[in-house]
Amino acid sequence: MRTTVIDRLTSSPAAALLALAGVAAGVLVGRGGLDTVVGCGVPGDSQPSRTAQDWITNADHVVVATPTAEQDTNRRDFAKGAIEYQTDRTVTFRTDKILWSSPRPREQLGRDFDMVSAGWNVHRDSGTRTKRTTAVAPRLEPGHTYLLALRRVSGQWAVLGEGAAVPFDHQTVGQGEWCGRTLSKDDVARGERFSRKDDHSLEKAAHGQDEQAVTRELERAETASRARGN
């Protein structure tokens, strides 16, 4: 079956809500265009990242973490166009709780860790800074909490992909910052109603629940993996 861009943007409850708000309807102008718009983007995972099985197969750790600081990095200047330069952000996280770890992690996770995340567009004429988002995923901002499936890659921590960074404000899966926007409890419920029924992601399975639901999904995936002899 062919997967359309709309399918990919509305597969998760949070993405479904953004589509309902008009993001998908009004901004679907191709990969480059989506990258410049707050709250939108086309998913592209470096590792399978959606299901609990993906997490226990590919991650080193699954963690509840809170950004405590951010710093601009990787500035890229442009000679022409409306954008004078772009930056990424180095985001420092506090490790609130490790929910799962691989039996053989590439590296142990400390009390704090850094990740590089989407940064800013700085406009040439006004000097205005606007948020950059690169996919249907959280931007990872201070003031919010996240559920992250982390993997050590080239000496740095990174999430597996867009499905491995989930809003987790108030200990609730799916509640909090998503693509630079803050989703309320009511938003979470609306997104759940309109998300795809064939979504088998961990986010969908534990949506609106607490860390115990996440742990149960990971344990079920481990049990199923052992039964298959993996």
What local confidence, expressed as pLDDT, does residue 148 receive?
A: 96
Q: What is the pLDDT of residue 68?
A: 97
Q: How much is the pLDDT for 60?
A: 97
d(CA 208, CA 48): 23
Q: What is the reported pLDDT for 73?
A: 95
Rounded distance, CA 37 to CA 83, Å?
13
Mean pLDDT by 10 residues, the chain (230 residues): 39 55 36 34 66 95 98 96 96 98 96 94 95 79 96 93 91 89 74 59 89 96 86
Please choose, from the candidates 199, 137, 190, 192, the residue with its C-alpha nearest in 3D space to the C-alpha of residue 166: 137
Q: What per-residue confidence (pLDDT) applies to 204?
A: 85
Joined together, the tokens standing for residue 66 give 């809170």
> Looking at the whole model, is its pTM more than 0.85?
no
Provide the pLDDT for residue 197. Answer: 58
Which pLDDT value is given to residue 192? 58
Residue length of the chain? 230
Q: How many whole angstroms separate alpha carbon 178 and alpha carbon 38?
A: 10
Q: For the range 75-79, what are the long-range contacts, defined as Cβ-Cβ under 8 Å and sequence gap of 24 or more?
A: none
Q: What is the residue whose two structure tokens read 């990787």? A: 74
* pLDDT computed for residue 3 by the predictor: 36
The pLDDT assigned to 61 comes to 98
Ramachandran class of 229: left when φ > 0, alpha when ψ lies in -120 to 50, beta otherwise: left
Rounded to whole angstroms, what are the CA distances from 165 to 127, 169, 219, 224? 30, 12, 19, 23
pLDDT at 134: 63
For residue 213, give both structure tokens.
């639901």
Nearest to 18 by CA among 35, 39, 3: 39
